[in-house]
Structure 1
Amino acid sequence: MSEPIAAVAVRAAELTARGFPREAIDLLRPALAANPLYAEAWCRLAAAHLDVGEPDPALSAAKRALVLDGDHAWAQRLAALALSELGRHTEAVVAARECVRRKPGDWRCRVVLAEVLAAAPDTRREAVDEGREATRLAPGEARAYQVLGDAALRIRDWGTAEWAYRNALKLDPVDDDVRANLATVRRKRGASPAPPTGDALTAAHAMAWPALSRLAVLLVTGGLLLLLAGLPSPTPLLGWFSALLVAAVGLVLLRLLVRARRGVRRALLVLPRYRPRVAAATTMFGLSTGILAGWTVALFLGGTTMQPLVIAWLCAVLGGSVVVLGGGR
């Protein structure tokens, strides 16, 4: 009995590929009523229902395939897509991850995981990573590049999106959706600079964190020495040592920018937007240095107060605490 249903499944696959999924459904339903134990046919039915925009029966068919002997990874892919269409994002991600677990080297599993991850804002960056992995596993598949481009487009990573869409069009030049998305990316990229890639941000973070550690040592230790030296009342001479401390901070920052490559240098400038610990430490050290510079000028003009120095030192301590507790992560 498996031969007739197998032939029906092949015919249904041909109909779906030619753009007639409704006919495929009409062909499969009576065949499955007579032969309900053929998992591939259930998967074909689920795929056809997805093509006509019917996620509920698609999910039911995929679940039937999951309890039968067959390609469970395929059934998990179909279930994940149906769940995503139904708005059940968490369940869709679980199904897609299970698909990847079953077949980690199958690019189609990575594509489906990228698709469902891209549906929610908090998982879109992971969707880009999964899309990249799909293109690595299947460099000749246009669909893998399209999904990567779609995920990158959602996080406004114009550079990655353009690269992905261009590769997708090389493999499938007649895909109008990809062509339209590429035009959108080029228009957006012309209107605003592309955000740094994940690799550039990682490289910038690896360079910035040691520099922040050096600033912590400079500002905390230097500020403490200035406090001790300024008791009971600071003199203009102390202003020269305070100026040297401000200059040392400037040298650390200048050295960081000079050492960075062009792409990484731009990532350094926007790194606080993507790394909260870097933002917190940078803000505290910036306040500390600014207050210290103002206090230095006040000393040269005859000021004798120590309060600004205390505030600057406390800001440095707070920033240093962020650096120590952050541990470079």
Structure 2
Amino acid sequence: MSEPIAAVVLRAAELTARGLPLQAIELLRPALVANPLHAEAWCRLAAAHLDAGEPDAAKRALVLGGDQAWAQRLTSLALTELGRHTEALVAARECVRRRPGDWRCQVVLAEALAAGGREPVGRGTATREATGGEAAGREAVEVAREATRLAPTEARPYQVLGDAALRLRDWGTAERAYRTALRLDPDADDVRANLATVRRKRGGAPVTAPSADALGAADALVWPALSRLAALLVAGGLVLTLAALPRPTPLLGWFSAALVAACLAVVARLLLGARGGTRRALLRLPRSRPLVAVVAAAFGLALVVLSGWSVALLLGAGTTQPLVVAWLCALLGGAVVVLRGGR
């Protein structure tokens, strides 16, 4: 019996991920009639109810036994949707207690704290309640920081950290968190909107982070330009190396300078040919495309060394070592371009 229910649970998870929670619920209910003690199936049913906007039904679907951390996490989400923040906070703390190394539990706790759930501050004035709320907000920031430490490559913890910091008016922390979340997930429009809000609150200009389409257009433009740079630097460097034997002359300095000028013309043509958001995306492309960053760094170093060597030749120097270094950097960048498939 375990194999059929396992297959049903897997199919229900796929339906929920595709945005079809009602079909997942219809699939799970008859399976749970035959397997009433299958804890994972109950948790999947609760998750489907949550996605369907039925938090009360989600809470009823949770059972004891099985993965308690998962059950408590879903319970906290359901109670938060119902507005029962204190109970949601209790469930979230229990989730963290059972599985402190799970970043999802930390995220749920941060959300419960930031949503208004806080532990009782005792009988007192409204000032004490406000103080308790501020303490809960600070704790939400710290818990979200822990989630980012546990999952540095996930965008969700950084988004929750930004939301918690935004509630405390900690603009610097919120902006840094939202920027990181956008770098990990460029399609998160809600994060982009919150980042613009933070910048307005700080008195700065709104941030228009490049969209995925702009980054794609920039990527399509940059590789042909990098291919031309590779051809210029590798071929030109090789010709200069051969011409410099056995000893370079000041005349080679002018040819080297011409090679640098040709490379800069390729870069200028790339930047001038891009428009609007694509040009901004070009400047930020190395952050999201590691291969672009590697090639740009190699070609940039080659141009700097080549420029210095040109000036040195014109001043009377007679060494070829900088030229060899520049050519090796160009060769490294050119190899990456070839392996990438640029033509």
Q: TM-score, normalised by structure 2?
A: 0.53
Match of 1:72 among 45, 50, 68: 68
Task: Please list the CA deviations of residues 228-257 of structure 1 after superposition, one character each: whole Å capped at 9, or x if unmatched.
Answer: xxxxxxxxxxxxxxxxxxxxxxxxxxxxxx
Aligned to 1:36: 36
Task: Please list the CA deviations of residues 272-308 of structure 1 after superposition, one character each: whole Å capped at 9, or x if unmatched.
Answer: xxxxxxxxxxxxxxxxxxxxxxxxxxxxxxxxxxxxx
Pair 1:20-2:16 in alignment: no
Aligned to 1:181: 194
Tell me the CA shift for residue 25 of structure 1: 1.2
Task: Please list the CA deviations of residues 207-242 of structure 1 after superposition, one character each: whole Å capped at 9, or x if unmatched.
Answer: xxxxxxxxxxxxxxxxxxxxxxxxxxxxxxxxxxxx
How many residues matched?
A: 188
Pair 1:49-2:62 in alignment: no
Pair 1:81-2:73 in alignment: no
Aligned to 2:3: 3
Aligned to 2:167: 154
Q: Secondary structure at the match of 1:100?
A: helix
Tell me the CA shift for residue 79 of structure 1: 0.4
Tell me the CA shift for residue 180 of structure 1: 1.2
Aligned to 1:130: 143
CA distance in 2, matches of 1:4, 1:58: 23
CA distance in 1, matches of 2:22, 2:170: 37
CA distance in 2, matches of 1:85, 1:12: 22
Pair 1:90-2:86 in alignment: yes
CA distance in 1, matches of 2:183, 2:18: 22
Aligned to 1:171: 184
Q: Which runs of 5+ in 1 are unaligned?
A: 193-329
Match of 2:102 among 102, 106, 117: 106
Report the residue type matching 1:16 in the other structure: T
Aligned to 2:60: 60
CA distance in 2, matches of 1:185, 1:22: 37
CA distance in 1, matches of 2:137, 2:29: 37
Tell me the CA shift for residue 96 of structure 1: 0.6
Q: Secondary structure at the match of 1:190?
A: coil
CA distance in 2, matches of 1:28, 1:168: 34
CA distance in 1, matches of 2:176, 2:112: 21
Q: TM-score, normalised by structure 1?
A: 0.55
What is the aligned-residue identity percentage? 78
Task: Please list the CA deviations of residues 125-173 of structure 1 after superposition, one character each: whole Å capped at 9, or x if unmatched.
Answer: 1111100000011101111111111111111111111111111111111
Tell me the CA shift for residue 58 of structure 1: 0.6
Report the residue type matching 1:167 in the other structure: T
Tell me the CA shift for residue 188 of structure 1: 1.2
Aligned to 2:157: 144
Tell me the CA shift for residue 47 of structure 1: 0.9
CA distance in 2, matches of 1:82, 1:117: 14
Report the residue type matching 1:173 in the other structure: P
Match of 2:112 among 116, 135, 143: 116
User: Which structure 1 residue ranges, 4+ long, deviate > 2 Å from structure 2?
Assistant: none
CA distance in 2, matches of 1:17, 1:87: 25
Q: Secondary structure at the match of 1:125?
A: helix
CA RMSD of aligned residues (A): 1.4
CA distance in 2, matches of 1:169, 1:146: 9
CA distance in 2, matches of 1:183, 1:114: 22
Tell me the CA shift for residue 191 of structure 1: 6.5
CA distance in 1, matches of 2:149, 2:24: 33
